[in-house]
Structure 1
């Protein structure tokens, strides 16, 4: 909460925990649901732990355009 100004939602924490456990995760959430916070939390955790790896983010732009 101190870093982001609000507490992450439970699903954001769960996704982050599973990835840090080494599990593959697919998270599907609507526009504005907070997916980007998961990426940021993982990047911070990885940096602090000295992890090296790759994150792949798939964003279906046509679907996103329809939501707008």
Structure 2
């Protein structure tokens, strides 16, 4: 069985915005596919620089308390 994975519309719109030179902020839940949304634009143009800020330690501490 072959599974074909397709990006979500939101991921494509996000990647297109980055590729078009727009500054973009993405807030999405776990499992939404944020990494793919960021990386798709880099596949099209390797000169694109993407900075991902992921406050995982802060979230972990918040959930623990």
Where in structure 2 are there 5+ consecutive unaligned residues? none
Runs of 4+ in structure 1 over 6 Å off: none
* TM-score for the superposition, normalised by structure 1: 0.71
- Give the secondary structure class of the aligned counterpart of 2:41: helix
**CA RMSD across the alignment:** 1.4
Aligned to 1:60: 55
Count residues in correspondence.
57
Question: In structure 1, how many angstroms separate the alpha carbons of the residues matched to 2:6 and 2:48?
Answer: 26
Question: In structure 2, how many angstroms separate the alpha carbons of the residues matched to 1:19 and 1:53?
Answer: 8
Greater Cα radius of gyration, structure 1 or 2: 2
Report matched runs for 1:1-68 at 5 Å: 5-47=4-46, 52-61=47-56, 62-63=58-59, 65=60, 66=63
- Measured after TM superposition, the shift of residue 34 of structure 1 is 0.3
Where in structure 1 are there 5+ consecutive unaligned residues? none
